[in-house]
Every structure is written in structure tokens, then in C-alpha cells.
């Protein structure tokens, strides 16, 4: 393949979806499959909201057959194969720790953190001693009445903010979670000794740019988000140019999109297969395809979050959960709906735990004609049945699905799938 080869928009979509494990269907299962999916995602972003299910669990449900909520935690906190860290909170493979520790050291030198540490040196020393003597510990282990009150996004007790600080600068790591609340322990008790080191900055920065390319599948050359690498476009593109020269990254252009895009050179054979109209053998699904059953994408899924839905699919998607109600166009917890290799609709979903009902509070088709497609109606029903089973709901409320014929088709398919 020559440098800067032009690829069609559909091939770009399929490449990004496929390498993320979303197309043409679920190809992983079990604990081993969950680990494969977590590695393919590159950054499993964590979010505490549990409206239908937590975003990280929806991401893995979309990729792993038979995945159960919080299944990722056994791999992260039980087997210590992954760790979570960062202001942009995500789970990454444990062997990547030295590269992230380079940025933990940088965080420790940040003026705000330095100032806080100097002002609260006493409570930091206290928490270090507590971790040595009692770890792991969580914020709930400290009585509010016995702690100094603080005003912080990270907690209302000095102990909570001190533990967070130690985690942020790499002295502590997350030992486990209960209802998403962290428990902390000393880093040396969690990570293998050979990984408790800081990679040289140049090495770490190259790694982060490579990881950003892998995370996006096709990287547009913007800053290194969400990795803590170069924070500006210029340094990121300089690193990309070095990686291209070293043969680790290749350049292409994408039909309908401006500028050069970058992908890992080792993944060019996958792109070649897609260009020939083939599905790579490693991507073949275990059962249903995304044409058989739609997939509800998590609000923080990397293929659609942060403007990617517009670039890849021409689908205007913004997660509105943090917008004031009056400013929401769609709803509180709206999820994009993947059908085949396209985003064709969105649904505002909620699990009513009191009645055990998975509720479709709102439903919007991108193209009204899709509502007349019986095959889509059946796929919608099967996808809803998959989600209902996943969240453990007893009932399914489809009252908001329109048109009526589509709702009937979806209801019939969902009942058949659950029978």
C-alpha cells in the first residue's frame, strides 16, 4: 500500500468499528474475551452513572458475548492485569504502567498539586501511614466527624482528597471498587516490582502517540487526547512524523475528511482486506451480526463520543447527561444505535429498578424510511432483548418507539429472542 492512499468512508467506518470489536458482530466471549476487548479498546473509560448500566459495562456488553456487569473488575483488581488512573479516568493494561508513571511524576510537579501537598503535608503523611498499616482503605473508612472538612470535587473530607492525591501522583493505586467507590493501597503492593518505574519521557511520549493512534484506529493528527502525551497539535504531528519514518505508523486519506489520517502499520493488512470487500477472518462474529441485532453504543464509546459520530457516520451525537434539561435536544441518557456499519437511530433508555422495566423513554430515527424496514424492526427487537437480558430487566417498555409498525415488529422480535 502506498503512502496516503485514499480510502472510502465506508471502509474507514468498518475499519474503526472492526478493530474496536463492534463490527460485524461480537467476536469475543468469556473472561479471556473480556480481556481482549479491554485491550482492543485501549482506554476503557470509567463513569459512575448507572442509568441503564454504567458506560464501561455497556461498552463491553457491545463487544463480548455473555458479558456480565462489572466483569472487567475481576481482571483489573482481582488478577491485576489492568490499572485505572488519570483525571480522564480509564483502565489500561498493567504492563503500560511505566509509561503512565512518567506522567504521574509530572503531575506531582504541577504547581497546584505541589501547593496542595505543601499545605496538607500532615494529612498526606497520615494517609501514607494508614496505607502502610491498614491498606487497602477507602474514603468511607474515615468518619466525617473526625476529619477536617474541605471543599473539593474529589471529596469533602481531607482524607478523601489526600488519598486521591497519592493516587494521582503514583504513590497509591486502586485496589478495588465497591459501588464504584475506590479503595486504595500502596503501589508496591499492587503493581509488579519491575513495573514500578518511570519510562524516559521521550519513550513515554512516543508510546502515548502510538496508543492514541490505536485508540482512534484512524487518527486525524490532532492532539494526543485521551492519553497524557503531547497536549498540542504541533508536537503530536512531529511525533507522528517520526513514527511514520520509523515504519510504525502509516498515512492515508479518508474520503470526505480533511487532512492526513494515521493508522498502525501492522494493521494495513486488515485495511487491505476491507478494501477488497472482505471481512478479516479474525473479525468474524461468534453469532449475531449487527444486521441481525442492533447494538446500543455506550455514551463514552470511542467510535462515537467526542464528535467522532459526526466524522465517521455523519451522525450528530452529543451526550447530554450533564446539560441542563432545558438545553437537551434528545434526552438524559441517549445511546446511538448501530445497525450494520451505520448509526441509524438513537434511544433514551432507563432501567426502572423498582418495576424491573427497561424503558425506552425516547426514540429517534435518522431517516424516517428506516422505520418501514421490517428487517430493522426485527434487529431492533433482538438488540433490545440482548440489552434487557444484560441489565436483568423483567419487562420492556417500547411505548416511545415510532412508527407503530416498527414498535410491533420490535416487540415481536424481542419476545421471540427472550422466549
> What would the pLDDT profile of 385-398 be if each residue is shown by its tens digit?
999 999 999 999 99
Residue 290 has pLDDT above 70, yes or no: yes
**Cell numbers at 206, concatenated:** 512516543
Residue 312 has pLDDT above 80, yes or no: yes
> What would the pLDDT profile of 364-418 be if each residue is shown by its tens digit?
999 999 999 999 999 999 999 999 999 999 999 999 999 999 999 999 999 999 9
> What would the pLDDT profile of 1-16 be if each residue is shown by its tens digit?
445 789 999 999 999 9
Residue 80 has pLDDT above 60, yes or no: yes
- SS3 of 233-283: the string is HHHHHHHHHHHHHCCCEEEEEECCCCCEEEEEHHHHHHHHHHHCCCCCHHH
Average pLDDT over residues 294-317: 95
Residue 337 has pLDDT above 60, yes or no: yes
Give the confidence band of 87 by pLDDT, cuts at 50, 70, 90: confident
Residue pointed to by grid coordinates 494515521: 262
Question: CA-CA distance, 76 to 82, in Å (whole number)?
Answer: 4
Range with the poorest average pLDDT among 40-44, 288-292, 325-329: 325-329
Q: Name the percent of the chain lying above pLDDT 90.
A: 89
Q: Name the percent of the chain lying above pLDDT 70.
A: 99
Q: 73 near 177, Cβ under 8 Å?
A: yes
Q: Half-sphere exposure (CA, 13 Å, Cβ side) for 267?
A: 24
**Structure confidence at residue 153 (pLDDT):** 65
Residue 230 has pLDDT above 90, yes or no: no
Question: CA-CA distance, 303 to 62, in Å (whole number)?
Answer: 12
Q: 298 near 55, Cβ under 8 Å?
A: yes
> What would the pLDDT profile of 246-273 be if each residue is shown by its tens digit?
999 999 999 989 999 999 999 999 999 9
| pLDDT, the chain, mean | 95
**Structure confidence at residue 201 (pLDDT):** 94
Average pLDDT over residues 34-60: 97
Question: CA-CA distance, 263 to 206, in Å (whole number)?
Answer: 14
Residue 70 has pLDDT above 60, yes or no: yes
What burial class does residue 32 get, using C-beta atoms within 10 Å of its C-beta: 0-12 exposed, 13-18 middle, 19+ buried? exposed
DSSP alpha helices (H): ranges in 155-232? 158-168, 187-190, 201-216
**Structure confidence at residue 148 (pLDDT):** 78
**Structure confidence at residue 3 (pLDDT):** 52
Residue pointed to by grid coordinates 501537598: 117
**Structure confidence at residue 278 (pLDDT):** 97
Q: 137 near 130, Cβ under 8 Å?
A: yes
Amino acid at each position: 500500500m502506498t503512502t496516503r492512499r485514499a480510502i472510502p468512508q465506508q471502509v474507514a467506518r468498518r475499519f474503526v468499528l472492526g478493530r474496536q470489536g463492534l463490527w460485524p458482530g461480537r467476536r469475543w466471549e468469556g473472561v479471556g474475551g473480556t480481556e481482549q476487548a479491554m485491550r482492543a479498546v485501549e482506554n476503557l473509560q470509567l463513569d459512575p452513572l448507572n442509568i441503564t448500566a454504567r458506560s464501561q459495562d455497556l461498552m463491553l456488553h457491545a463487544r463480548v458475548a455473555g458479558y456480565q456487569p462489572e466483569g472487567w473488575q475481576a481482571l483489573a483488581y482481582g488478577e491485576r492485569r489492568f490499572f485505572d488512573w488519570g483525571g480522564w479516568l480509564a483502565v489500561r493494561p498493567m504492563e503500560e504502567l511505566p509509561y503512565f508513571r512518567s506522567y504521574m511524576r509530572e503531575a506531582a510537579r504541577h504547581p497546584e498539586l505541589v501547593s496542595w501537598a505543601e499545605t496538607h503535608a500532615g494529612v498526606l503523611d497520615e494517609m501514607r501511614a494508614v496505607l502502610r498499616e491498614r491498606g487497602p482503605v477507602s474514603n468511607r473508612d474515615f468518619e466525617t466527624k473526625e476529619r477536617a472538612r474541605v471543599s473539593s470535587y474529589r471529596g469533602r473530607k481531607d482524607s478523601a482528597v489526600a488519598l486521591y492525591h497519592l493516587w494521582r501522583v503514583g504513590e497509591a493505586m486502586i485496589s478495588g471498587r465497591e459501588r464504584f467507590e475506590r479503595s486504595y493501597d500502596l503501589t508496591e503492593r499492587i503493581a509488579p516490582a519491575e513495573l514500578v518505574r518511570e519510562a524516559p519521557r521521550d519513550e513515554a511520549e512516543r508510546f502515548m502517540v502510538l496508543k492514541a493512534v490505536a485508540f482512534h484506529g484512524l487518527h486525524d493528527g490532532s492532539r494526543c487526547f485521551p492519553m497524557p502525551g503531547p497536549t498540542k497539535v504541533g508536537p503530536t504531528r512531529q511525533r507522528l512524523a517520526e513514527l511514520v519514518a520509523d515504519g510504525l505508523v502509516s498515512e492515508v486519506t479518508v474520503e470526505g475528511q480533511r487532512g492526513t489520517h494515521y493508522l498502525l502499520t501492522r494493521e494495513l493488512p486488515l485495511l487491505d482486506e476491507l478494501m477488497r470487500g472482505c471481512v478479516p477472518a479474525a473479525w468474524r462474529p461468534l453469532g449475531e451480526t449487527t444486521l441481525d441485532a442492533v447494538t446500543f453504543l455506550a455514551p463514552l464509546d470511542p467510535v462515537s463520543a467526542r464528535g467522532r459520530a459526526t466524522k465517521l457516520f455523519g451522525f450528530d451525537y452529543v451526550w447530554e447527561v450533564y446539560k441542563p434539561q432545558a438545553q437537551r435536544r434528545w434526552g438524559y441518557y441517549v445511546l446511538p444505535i448501530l445497525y450494520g456499519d451505520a448509526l441509524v437511530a438513537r434511544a433514551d433508555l432507563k432501567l426502572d429498578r423498582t418495576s424491573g422495566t427497561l424503558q425506552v423513554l425516547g426514540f429517534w430515527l435518522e431517516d424516517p424510511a428506516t422505520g418501514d424496514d421490517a428487517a430493522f424492526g426485527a434487529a431492533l427487537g433482538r438488540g433490545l432483548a440482548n440489552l434487557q437480558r444484560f441489565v436483568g430487566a423483567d419487562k420492556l417498555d417500547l411505548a416511545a418507539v415510532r412508527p407503530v409498525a416498527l414498535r410491533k415488529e420490535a416487540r415481536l422480535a424481542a419476545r421471540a429472542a427472550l422466549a
